[in-house]
Amino acid sequence: MRVLVVDDELVSREKMRRIMAGLFGGCDEASTGQAALEAVSAAMSENRPYELITLDISMPSMDGIDVLKRIRESERAENVPKDARAKIFMVTAASERETIITCIKEGCNDYITKPFSSDRVLKKLRDNGILPPEPDGAPAGAQASAAKNSLDGVIERFNRGEMELPPMHLIQRKFYELTASGATLAAIADLLEKDPAISSKLIRISNSSFYRGYNENVTVEQAVNRLGLIATKQTVDAVCSRALYDDVHPNYVQVVEKLWVHSLACAYACQLIAELRGIRLLEDPFTMGLFHDIGKLMLLRVIGELQRSGKDVDTDTDMLMTAVETHHGKAGAVLLKKWLFPAVFVQVAELHDDLGKVLNPGRELLVVQLANIAVKSLGYGTPNAQGVQPGASEQAKSLGVDPSVMDLVGTQVKKYMDEFVEYLS
């Protein structure tokens, strides 16, 4: 079967390509609507038309619906019988009924919602007769379900506190104790000098374009005095948090690196939303954003360690990521409780992905939810599943944040990330 995968988003396109290549021995791919139309036209002229096309709806310049219309128009112009036309599956992060109905009216065969798993794609192909049904005695997804059950056991043990969790970084814990006691900046600098990684990054950041003074800082005390207590705390949190992202299982290095970038971007977005809108919060918005997804990291670390030790948790990557996505909120709450973080951090970690499902959410949770939507829209992380624009979100409305403010947040987050992600990595 000749297959074409069309998606402008690299991660999603590569994921679908691997699924299709595994099923059919290979497939072609296109990153734009125009490239897809050219590939379809070339295939038809060679008398080797595509039999299966997965087509992302949301693409720049030419969206998936327009591409779908043009493919069906070309098939009709060539008098291709209906039963010989390409099977076209629309892939969408949105679940709006009207969009899906429009696609069906324009001639798609079915749709697949993001984030998708190989199991979901297989079911769609079987439902549409492209793949044969599962043989009797082997229900669809039986092996996957068994793997998921073993993974669920790992997650349940984690959530019950039965698995060893990493302690808070020693310098970070002592830093918190010092600041709570009202220590001077000089005393704080003395503590931070004991950690070479923190010391070097503090000095570099204090000399960056955002904080640079007339003279170059060369000591930690100079850096702390220039940055002030808040920026120093944020740097300490970021450096100590970053250390947790190292030494993960090779299977998850790329996922974890993207998770780090997403978490750092979310931290800056939280800080900017609070500052630009003048929102007073119970705790530092930067640190809440930085740790909101810590549960994902912890689950991937635990699963990776079990795999290294030969434990039977080897499972389908797509299913694993779906399970991590489902359970990471609770896992993050478990870890932050162990680290004795204030209750608002625990709530943010547990509920930040429950958009619209929390009755009377506090401002802290709303800020993190809004920042999470914003940085995903900027490309720092997976696309937000509902396709929500930050300035039009319910969180923005509840906080009284105008779309113009969110545009400014986006611009500033990119500047911060361009400047600091290398320093903190």
Averaged confidence pLDDT in the chain: 85
Q: Is the pLDDT of residue 179 over 70?
A: yes
Residue pair 239/197 in contact (Cβ under 8 Å)? The answer is: yes
Based on the fold, state whether residues 261 and 397 are members of the same structural domain. Answer: yes
Q: How far is CA 234 from CA 280, 291, 308, 351, in A?
A: 17, 12, 33, 22
Is residue 68 included in any domain, yes or no?
A: yes
Based on the fold, state whether residues 290 and 376 are members of the same structural domain. Answer: yes
Give pLDDT, residue 157. Answer: 67
Is residue 161 included in any domain, yes or no?
A: yes
Which band of pLDDT confidence, cut at 50, 70 and 90, is reported for residue 214?
confident
Beta carbons within 10 angstroms of residue 94's beta carbon: 18
Give pLDDT, residue 372. Answer: 92
Task: Please give the share of the chain, as a percent, with pLDDT higher than 70.
Answer: 86
Number of domains in the chain: 2
More confident residue, 412 or 249: 412
More confident residue, 170 or 423: 170
CATH of the domain at 287: 1.10.3210.10
pLDDT-wise least confident of 49-53, 214-218, 366-370: 214-218
Residue 138 phi/psi, 5° resolution? -130, 80
Last residue of a domain, one of 123, 140, 157: 140
Which band of pLDDT confidence, cut at 50, 70 and 90, is reported for residue 278?
very high
Is residue 190 included in any domain, yes or no?
A: no
Residue position matching structure tokens 């992060």: 93
Closest Cα to residue 421, out of 208, 168, 140, 153? 208
Strand partners, 52: 3, 87
DSSP letter string over 244-304? Answer: TTSS--GGGHHHHHHHHHHHHHHHHHHHHHHHHHT---SS-HHHHHHHTTHHHHHHHHHHH
116-145 pLDDT per residue, tens: 878 788 888 988 888 877 655 444 444 444
Give pLDDT, residue 145. Answer: 45
Beta carbons within 10 angstroms of residue 305's beta carbon: 16
Based on the fold, state whether residues 153 and 260 are members of the same structural domain. Answer: yes
Beta carbons within 10 angstroms of residue 83's beta carbon: 5
Task: Estimate the crossing angle of helix 294-308 against helix 142-159, to 10 degrees.
Answer: 110
Is residue 235 included in any domain, yes or no?
A: no
Which band of pLDDT confidence, cut at 50, 70 and 90, is reported for residue 285?
very high
Based on the fold, state whether residues 93 and 112 are members of the same structural domain. Answer: yes
What is the average per-residue pLDDT within 228-246? 90
Based on the fold, state whether residues 84 and 155 are members of the same structural domain. Answer: no
Based on the fold, state whether residues 58 and 162 are members of the same structural domain. Answer: no
Closest Cα to residue 175, out of 212, 205, 220, 217? 220
What is the average per-residue pLDDT within 69-76? 94
Beta carbons within 10 angstroms of residue 51's beta carbon: 16
Based on the fold, state whether residues 297 and 348 are members of the same structural domain. Answer: yes
Which band of pLDDT confidence, cut at 50, 70 and 90, is reported for residue 113?
confident
Residue pair 5/16 in contact (Cβ under 8 Å)? The answer is: yes
Which band of pLDDT confidence, cut at 50, 70 and 90, is reported for residue 6?
very high
Query: SS3 for 341?
Result: coil
Based on the fold, state whether residues 97 and 159 are members of the same structural domain. Answer: no
Q: Which residues contact 308 (CB under 8 A, 6 or more apart)?
A: 249
Residue pair 343/333 in contact (Cβ under 8 Å)? The answer is: no
CA end-to-end span of the chain: 44
- Which tokens go with 206? 């204090």
d(CA 277, CA 227): 22
Q: Which residues contact 164 (CB under 8 A, 6 or more apart)?
A: none
Q: Is the pLDDT of residue 51 over 70?
A: yes
Residue 293 phi/psi, 5° resolution? -105, 20
- Which tokens go with 96? 């709006």
d(CA 271, CA 262): 14
Based on the fold, state whether residues 160 and 125 are members of the same structural domain. Answer: no
Which band of pLDDT confidence, cut at 50, 70 and 90, is reported for residue 147?
very low
Closest Cα to residue 164, out of 301, 340, 290? 301
Q: How far is CA 163 from CA 173, 292, 306, in A?
A: 21, 21, 11
Is residue 206 included in any domain, yes or no?
A: no
Burial of 214 (0-12, 13-18, 19+ CB in 10 A): exposed
Is residue 192 included in any domain, yes or no?
A: no
Based on the fold, state whether residues 34 and 160 are members of the same structural domain. Answer: no
CATH of the domain at 130: 3.40.50.2300
Q: Is the pLDDT of residue 311 over 70?
A: no
Based on the fold, state whether residues 102 and 156 are members of the same structural domain. Answer: no
More confident residue, 381 or 67: 67
Is residue 267 included in any domain, yes or no?
A: yes
What is the average per-residue pLDDT within 291-308? 86
What is the average per-residue pLDDT within 26-31? 90
What is the average per-residue pLDDT within 394-413? 92
Residue pair 370/396 in contact (Cβ under 8 Å)? The answer is: yes
pLDDT-wise least confident of 55-59, 202-206, 324-328: 324-328
More confident residue, 4 or 100: 4
Which band of pLDDT confidence, cut at 50, 70 and 90, is reported for residue 152?
low
Q: Is the pLDDT of residue 245 over 70?
A: yes
Task: Please give the share of the chain, as a percent, with pLDDT higher than 90.
Answer: 43
Based on the fold, state whether residues 347 and 418 are members of the same structural domain. Answer: yes
pTM for the whole structure: 0.63
Give pLDDT, residue 226. Answer: 93
251-275 pLDDT per residue, tens: 888 888 999 999 999 999 999 999 9
Task: Supply the range of the domain harboring residue 48.
Answer: 3-140
Is residue 268 included in any domain, yes or no?
A: yes
* Distance from chain centroid for Cα 63: 23
Q: Which residues contact 146 (CB under 8 A, 6 or more apart)?
A: none
